[in-house]
Amino acid sequence: MGLLTDLRDSISRVVDRLFSESEPKRIGIYGPPNAGKTTLANRIARDWTGDAIGPESHIPHETRRARRKENVEIERNGKKVTIDIVDTPGVTTKVDYKEFLEHDMEKDDAVRRSREATEGVAEAMHWLREDVDGVVYVLDSTKDPISQVNTMLIGIIESQDLPVLIFANKIDLEDSNVERIANAYPQHETVELSALEGENMDEVYAKIAEYFG
Amino acid sequence: MPEATASDSTSDGVQIDLFSGNRMANLTSMEKIRLILDGVRDGNIVILEEGLSPDEESKLIEVTMAEISPDEFNGIEIETYPRSQTADQSFLDRLMGRQSTQKLTVIGPANQIQTLHKDENLISALVSRK
């Protein structure tokens, strides 16, 4: 029975995708905290709609609720795609409010922020299992990409058969190493960019239109 | 099969629970997650011979987040070797969402275990007492 149920679910997922071509694709922007997910989401939203999605910050867990920007039309090289951008909280397996105290926060504020952060991570995982059609996985190219959270999340995304693009962000920084990311996840295409400075956004949009269109 | 439990809760040492694949095979996803988190919340290091499925890992993160409490439980540190390429799988396996989960997995309290080095063949971690 399990085998038949799995097969039926798999076929149902494929059929759903085939018949929902005209619907906007919900593209989740995932990655660890402070990779630049909201900066990227804002860059895309501003470039194609004129509006931002949410506030950016160097303090981890600034985004504590998934935020959606609907009907973003991206067109490049004759390919057009309409997407809903879902900016998600950075995923982690641990949250310690004491980390926020280092950013000049009072204890009450730090505890509240950590509680909201844990709820946000759980919400991000739920979106990934249930509600996204594709994933942009954002990594800080100055950091080691083989962290457990990255390994697990990319495994989870692959197990759902979701199309995924890996974005190596922060190439404007001196320590950036895009090749390290490409070598860590050779099964996926890696696109380099600086969401903050707007570097290589033409290729970013071309890949989004190609992959998710 | 490597199934051993070192339990001496009265000592200052760190308890390590090593669960065999056979021991975990008959448990539901939530039973596995409960087993792991109950052990970790007691300050133990939990080692799974065959790891968790991606879906179980996803649920483990969700349940962990729900249980984090200031000054009591900060979450978990979890380490497995990087998952092998999906190219290793057959088309049918990928179609059915089946993925090999046979990856030794180490899980501990976030405030007691620190990863020193990790690559495709080696996980080196520092474990401190409670």
The count of structural domains within chain A is 1
Q: Which of B62, B68, B82 sits opposite A125 (nearest CB)?
A: B62
The percentage of residues in chain B with a pLDDT greater than 70, rounded to a whole number, is 75
Helices (H) and strands (E) in chain A, counts: 7, 6
Q: How many CB pairs under 8 A join A and B?
A: 100
- Tell me the C-alpha distance between A192 and A204, whole Å: 8
Instruction: Calculate how close chain A gets to B110, using CA atoms only, in Å.
Output: 6
Q: Tens digits of per-residue pLDDT, A36-84?
A: 999 999 999 999 998 888 888 888 888 888 888 999 999 988 888 999 9
User: How much is the pLDDT for B102?
Assistant: 73
- The tokens of A70 are what? 């609907």
pLDDT-derived band at A22 (thresholds 50, 70, 90) equals low
Flag whether A91 is in a domain: yes
Decide if A33 is inside a domain: yes
- Under a CB-based contact definition with an 8 Å cutoff, are residues A89 and B61 in contact? no
Mean of pLDDT over chain A: 88
**Closest of B2, B7, B9, B6 to residue B130, by C-alpha:** B9
Between B59, B79, B97, which is nearest A10 by CB? B97
Asked if the C-beta of B75 comes within 8 angstroms of chain A's C-beta atoms, the answer is yes
B110 at interface of A, judged by CB pairs closer than 8 A: yes
Whether the ipTM is more than 0.85: the answer is no
Per-residue confidence (pLDDT) for residue A157, from 0 to 100 = 94
The reported pLDDT for the residue numbered B12 is: 76
Residue B67 has pLDDT above 90, yes or no: yes
Report if residue A15 sits inside a domain. Answer: no
Q: pLDDT tens-digit profile of A135-150? A: 999 999 999 998 889 9
pLDDT at position B31, please? Answer: 97
Please tell me the predicted confidence (pLDDT) of residue B93: 56
Give the domain CATH number at A120: 3.40.50.300
Say if A167 falls within a structural domain.
yes
pLDDT digits (tens, 9 = 90+) for B11-58: 678 899 999 999 999 999 999 999 999 999 999 999 999 999 999 999
Domain span at A140: 22-212
Q: Is B72 near chain A, with CB under 8 Å?
A: no
Cβ–Cβ contact B104 with A under 8 A: no
Q: Give the nearest partner residue to A152 out of B57, B95, B110, using CB atoms.
A: B57
The pTM (predicted TM-score) of the whole model is 0.83
Q: Which helix (H) or strand (E) holds B47?
A: strand B45-48
Q: Has residue A154 been placed in a domain? A: yes
- Asked if B97 has any chain A CB less than 8 Å from its own CB, the reply is yes
